[in-house]
Amino acid sequence: MIVWLNGAFGSGKSTLVDELRPRWPEALVYDPEMVGYVLREIVEVPTGDFQDLRLWRRQVADLAVGLVEEYGRPVLVPMTVVNAGYVGEIFGVLKDAGIDVHHFFLKVSREVLEERIDSRSFTPDDPEQDERVRRWCKGRIEPCMAAADALPGDTVFLDGELTPQELADQVLARVQADGTLGA
């Protein structure tokens, strides 16, 4: 099973994973951003967004399938993917492999997202790069918020302004209610 945590940058995906880990110790954590970082070292990313690389999407899906098949454990995936075509492409591979996908989207107001992004340090040794990353993340807020309407129909929307504990309770309750998490 895969629990995909989606939402804008700053919505709390990684914080939620940090809350889920001790409560669900058998779950693996898989961050598809790492696949993007590897690809950036090998090939040019013309748009600047590695999600636009077909190879990234294919590798993300294949590695997720491999993790479930090889280790037989649930996989937590904190990753913003809001292009409906890309979501369909990745989730289609997962579903074709017979993997249950629980897709959660953290909804957070623009103001809170901007505050969270401003409070983060992405590259502490390079303030100019830090600011470029903040601008890029903020520039993605609107597309992320708008994309919520185009996500798969079984997406579960969560109030990303709740505490991490409350969000973890909701995720675990939903997965358990669907019968894919032991009591």
Segment 10-65, tens digit of pLDDT: 999 999 999 999 999 999 999 999 999 999 999 999 998 999 999 999 999 999 99
Specify if 166 maps to a domain.
no
Specify if 119 maps to a domain.
yes
> How far apart are alpha carbons 133 and 99 in whole angstroms?
34
Specify if 66 maps to a domain.
yes
- Record the pTM: 0.92
Domain count, the chain: 1
Specify if 182 maps to a domain.
no
Specify if 176 maps to a domain.
no
Over residues 84-107, the pLDDT tens digits come to 999 999 999 999 999 999 999 999
Specify if 173 maps to a domain.
no
Specify if 96 maps to a domain.
yes
Specify if 180 maps to a domain.
no
Q: Tell me, what CATH number does 106's domain have?
A: 3.40.50.300
Is the predicted pLDDT of residue 179 greater than 80, yes or no? no
Structure tokens at 141: 């807020």
74: containing domain? 2-161
